[in-house]
């Protein structure tokens, strides 16, 4: 991997880590909570079936799933939170 790709990856990871939200910050970053947030996003997308916000949320959902599947749970949950924000929904605190 080239130095520029490594630097870009570090910037992206740093940006994701710096992006904090109350729902993501209050939930421990675990595989189980990734699954729960994924379901919340899918349910919210079902209730908001069209529009550009829907497309953006679907992209965030895919990115969140990718991170969670690779074990980067906090980054995945951050993407799920961004998906919910894109469609005007919020994560529920009952993810325990």
DSSP 24-53: HHHS---HHHHHHHHHHHHHHHHHS-SSHH
pLDDT band for position 47 (cuts 50, 70, 90): confident
In degrees and rounded to multiples of 5, residue 2 shows phi and psi of: -75, 160
Q: Is the pLDDT confidence value at 14 over 80?
A: no
CA atoms of 79 and 85, how far apart (whole Å): 10
Q: Residue range 55-72: average pLDDT?
A: 95
CB 29 within 8 A of CB 73: yes
CB-based burial of residue 35 (10 Å sphere; 0-12 exposed, 13-18 middle, 19+ buried)? middle
Q: What is the pLDDT at residue 23?
A: 55
Rounded to two decimals, the pTM is 0.69
């Amino acid at each position: 991997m080239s130095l520029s790709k490594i630097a870009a990856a570090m910037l992206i990871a740093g940006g994701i880590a710096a992006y904090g939200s109350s729902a993501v910050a209050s939930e421990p970053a675990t595989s189980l909570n990734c699954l729960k947030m994924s379901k919340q996003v899918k349910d919210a997308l079902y209730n908001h079936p069209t529009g550009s916000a829907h497309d953006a949320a679907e992209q965030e959902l895919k990115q969140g799933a990718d991170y969670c599947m690779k074990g980067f749970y906090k980054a995945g949950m951050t993407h799920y939170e961004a998906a919910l924000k894109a469609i005007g929904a919020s994560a529920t605190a009952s993810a325990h």
